[in-house]
């Protein structure tokens, strides 16, 4: 009999993670109530099968738990629901235990896992780790924050060698026993300060990834991020391997185009990035982290290299979506923070003679970030900046001294004006440094809208070629 049989569980948040949690809990015999502040036809349609299977669904639940709510034995919270939400604080006041969807999935998983977090690069690294594992005949599924919830695959994990899990700071807030055999921290820069309030709080949330590891586990950590952890008195208990594209002291580091190891049992050049489709320092770190994971898991280098060399970046990450009249258009909609924007600007093809050649489109929903630090790079790379969305005034105040900033009413206006202003050899780059939710359903919808606008502009211009240079990829 399952430990959930007969338990009454509230699932808070009914997006993909919440829906996966309900499916798992119903399969395990729990009595489930699902609650979400939204109430629309799409959500009603998605949750109807749960109600038909016996769950109680409460949509439009924006306030605290009322007297008409039943007594719960457990709350499972989706990562998008803050622990300060009135429903969560109200139930905690009643001593109802709170668990995250990641923790629920972990408790039902039946194999070891590799868990990857960081401000940027975690999705690409998750995909890379899954690719080298599967390429070396180790069965794995990439899941977690990457889009496939852990609860969706936990019950089938007995057929796998590893789960490869992308983990966000929101998910790490609610872990208790979650323990990776290999924990990877890609980097630490400002993000989600609207939820974590300070950089120290954000760093502590990320560091929870290492909290349950033992000395025989492994921690793979960017050299600079490890320094940040140490500054807060945090040190992983597991043996640590470091990597860095900028610090040669790291165990794995970048030397021109070579990824080089100084590990005593694995020293020398490992991979030449000139042979890879991924480019840029940020991707060098994604590749180094993957190599370190593979080394610890016993994957032969000869089997990893072909997989890494032919790996293609996914959509919305410095993805070249077309060329119109000699101008290249790049979709970096997944770049939702300042460090991601910096990576994108550095990865863009240079203009003739090294001149500034980027027309940047940025803006969206503010996540409490500071934008000033990227100003000098904008002065070097940007011919002009178009700002959209909720954060546009804040961004103009931060960047106005460094680049010509224009407030635009929409993404469509930005693309059309940038297209008219750009000249051959220029780049139009969508890299928002903000969340998408003020104007779009998610970053994928924003990126797809950009792609369609570029295609429309190309048809109107009558001078379109869809080949793109292979020199700008991003995590």
Cα–Cα distance between 265 and 161 in angstroms, integer? 25
Residues 176-221 have pLDDT tens digits of: 999 999 999 999 987 666 777 798 999 999 999 999 999 999 999 9
Tell me how far CA of residue 419 lies from CA of 212, 362, 414, 470, in angstroms.
Answer: 51, 15, 8, 21
Write down the residue that tokens 């480019």 correspond to: 279
pLDDT at 474: 42
Higher pLDDT, 320 or 228: 228
Distance, in Å, from the CA atom of 260 to the CA atom of 272, rounded to the nearest integer, reads 9
Residues 6+ apart with CB under 8 A from 332: 316, 317, 318, 319, 340, 341, 344, 429, 430, 431, 432, 474
Read off the pLDDT band of 464 (50, 70, 90): low
**Number of other residues whose CB lies within 10 A of the CB of residue 424:** 12
Query: pLDDT tens-digit profile of 234-275?
Result: 999 999 999 999 999 999 999 999 999 999 989 999 999 999
**Per-residue pLDDT tens digits for 69-88:** 889 999 999 998 989 889 89
> What structural domains does the chain harbor?
8-96 (3.40.50.720), 103-310 (3.40.1190.10), 319-461 (3.90.190.20)
CA distances from 176 to 33, 100, 107, 179, 279 (A): 22, 9, 10, 9, 37
């Amino acid at each position: 009999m399952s430990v959930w049989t007969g338990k009454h569980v509230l699932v808070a948040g009914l997006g993909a993670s919440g829906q996966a949690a309900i499916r798992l809990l119903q399969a395990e015999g729990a009595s489930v109530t699902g609650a979400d502040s939204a109430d629309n036809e799409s959500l009603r349609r998605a949750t109807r099968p749960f109600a038909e299977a016996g769950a109680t669904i409460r949509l439009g639940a924006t306030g605290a738990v009322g007297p008409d709510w039943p007594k719960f034995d457990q709350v499972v919270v989706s990562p998008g629901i803050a622990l300060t939400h009135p429903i969560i604080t109200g139930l905690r006041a009643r001593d109802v235990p709170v668990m995250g969807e990641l923790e629920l999935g972990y408790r039902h998983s039946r194999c070891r896992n590799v868990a990857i977090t960081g401000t940027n690069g975690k999705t690409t690294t998750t995909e890379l780790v899954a690719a080298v594992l599967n390429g070396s005949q180790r069965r794995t599924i990439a899941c977690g924050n990457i889009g496939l919830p852990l609860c969706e695959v936990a019950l089938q994990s007995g057929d796998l060698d590893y789960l490869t899990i992308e983990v966000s700071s929101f998910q790490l807030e609610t872990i208790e026993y979650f323990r990776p055999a290999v924990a990877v921290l890609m980097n630490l820069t400002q993000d989600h300060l609207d939820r974590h309030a300070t950089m120290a709080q954000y760093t502590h949330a990320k560091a929870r990834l290492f909290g349950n590891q033992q000395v025989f586990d492994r921690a793979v950590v960017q050299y600079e991020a490890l320094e940040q952890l140490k500054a807060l008195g945090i040190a992983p208990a597991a043996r640590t391997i470091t990597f860095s594209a900028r610090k040669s002291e790291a165990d794995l580091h970048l030397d021109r185009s070579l990824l080089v190891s100084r590990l005593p049992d694995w020293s020398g050049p490992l991979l030449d990035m000139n042979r890879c489709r991924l480019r840029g320092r940020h991707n060098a770190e994604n590749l180094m982290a993957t190599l370190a994971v593979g080394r610890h898991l016993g994957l032969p280098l000869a089997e990893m290299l072909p997989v890494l060399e032919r790996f293609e970046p996914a959509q919305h990450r410095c993805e070249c979506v077309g060329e119109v009249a000699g101008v290249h258009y790049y979709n970096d909609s997944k770049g939702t923070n300042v460090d991601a924007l910096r990576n994108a600007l550095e990865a863009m093809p240079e203009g003739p003679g090294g001149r500034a050649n980027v027309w940047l489109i940025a803006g969206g929903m503010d996540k409490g970030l500071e934008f000033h630090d990227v100003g000098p790079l904008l002065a070097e790379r940007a011919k002009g900046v178009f700002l959209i969305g909720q954060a546009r005034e804040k961004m103009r105040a931060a960047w106005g001294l460094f680049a010509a900033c224009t407030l635009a009413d929409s993404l469509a206006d930005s693309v059309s004006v940038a297209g008219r202003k750009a000249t051959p050899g220029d780049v139009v780059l969508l890299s928002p440094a903000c969340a998408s939710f003020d104007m779009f359903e998610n970053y994928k919808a924003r990126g797809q809208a950009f792609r369609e606008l570029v295609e429309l502009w190309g048809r109107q211009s009558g001078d379109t070629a869809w080949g793109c240079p292979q020199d700008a990829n991003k995590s």
